[in-house]
Amino acid sequence: MNARAKRRILVTGGAGFIGSNFVHHWCKEYPDDRMVVLDALTYAGNYQNIAALEARENFRFVKGDICDRLLIDQLLAEEDINTVAHFAAESHVDRSILGPDAFIRTNVVGTFTLLEGFRAHWNARGRQEGVGAASRRHRFLHVSTDEVYGSLSAEDPAFTETTPYAPNSPYSASKAGSDHLARAYYHTYNLPTIITNCSNNYGAYHFPEKLIPLMCINILLGKPLPVYGDGQNVRDWLFVGDHCRALDVVINKGIPGETYNIGGNNEAKNIDLVNKLCELMNELAPDLPVRPAQKLITFVKDRPGHDRRYAINATKIKEELGWTPAQTLEGGLRTTIEWYLKNRDWWQPLLSEEYQNYYNQVYG
């Protein structure tokens, strides 16, 4: 199936951060494709992220749980889905430390439920079309994280697709489990699964608990900027628009059974990233309650199992599929800050009592 052929795509978690950015990307690039979004609209899923797309003839939103096998079977059959882009996940390390059970249910059981449903659907289509034709038409994209690989020292080479898994939090362990399931379904059942492992994303529609939106919003509110430990933890930052382009390429050109690492080539220490956000905020937001914003930086107790460094080697996807990131870190941060400045009506309602209770539990 080539990039110009129509797809009938089910996007799980399509009202979340990366998922909604992907949905907007796909609808823009492939307006003739059928787009079905499934999202449970838990705290991190926001219908407003995709509400503007509901008027499209080829768009459908369904509120539902990926652990609901009956619903999965129904959607796959009635929409004749040939492509699944699986984003739905519990994804925040701090929350996984406080309550790991939800991560096992959504990330492991939910992925298993989707794979089983898609396998039954794919087998049915294979009987009608011939197994070879069904394999060419169908794809199951499992979107995962670099955190499954564990932690790197400053001298270690970046993660590759063959780096052994060594997850260090309930979140990363649950994602590792879901990766193994997706891989096993290819090798056991020949299901056309593809796995991607990405570095830290940032951009529009990012829930306030994550580092970059947390810092942006706290600067705008004049609240402390909590930095874990000594602030020397290193992450590779990937602009979400670049990530969506990579996933597009993987769906259309990737090889079933393969894994592709997706990184931004933008390693930065947490404290350096926070200082850069402060510099940009000082420039872009003239009415800050505290200036310069750097005055708000506050070091807090490190979280348990905090990985020291992540870094992605994205050579494989570059050489085999022709994708490279286009956005620089400073350019991406500037674009992101400008979005948060223009969209206060989006993020202010998210600062609910539940969110405040969670924030106080994590940061004191």
Active site members = 146-147, 171
Give me 185's structure tokens. 């379904």
How far is 239 from 202, CA to CA, in rounded Å?
A: 5
The pair of three-digit structure tokens given for residue 198, joined into one six-digit string: 């990405």
Instruction: Label residue 122 exposed, middle or buried (CB < 10 Å: 0-12, 13-18, 19+).
Output: buried
In order of 237, 313, 314, 352, the CA distances from 155 in angstroms are: 19, 14, 18, 42
Residue 198 dihedral angles phi and psi, to the nearest 5°: -110, 160
CA–CA distance, 108 with 232 (Å, rounded to integer): 31
Distance CA 215, CA 199 (A): 19
Q: Which neighbouring-strand residues pair with 63?
A: 39
How many whole angstroms separate alpha carbon 182 and alpha carbon 199? 19
Determine the Cα–Cα distance for residues 29 and 33; give it in Å rounded to an integer.
9
Q: What is d(CA 294, CA 231) in angstroms, rounded to the nearest whole number? A: 14
Structural contact between residues 121 and 65, judged by C-beta atoms closer than 8 angstroms:
no
DSSP-derived 3-state class of residue 100: coil
Structure tokens at 292: 């310069």
In the block, residue with structure tokens 């797809």: 7
With beta carbons less than 8 A apart as the criterion, state whether 50 and 58 touch.
no
* 3 state SS of 88: coil
Instruction: Give, in order, the Cα–Cα distances in Å from 63 to each of 13, 128, 215.
Output: 10, 30, 30
159 within 8 A of 236, measured Cβ to Cβ: no
Relative to beta strand 139-145, strand 297-300 is: unpaired
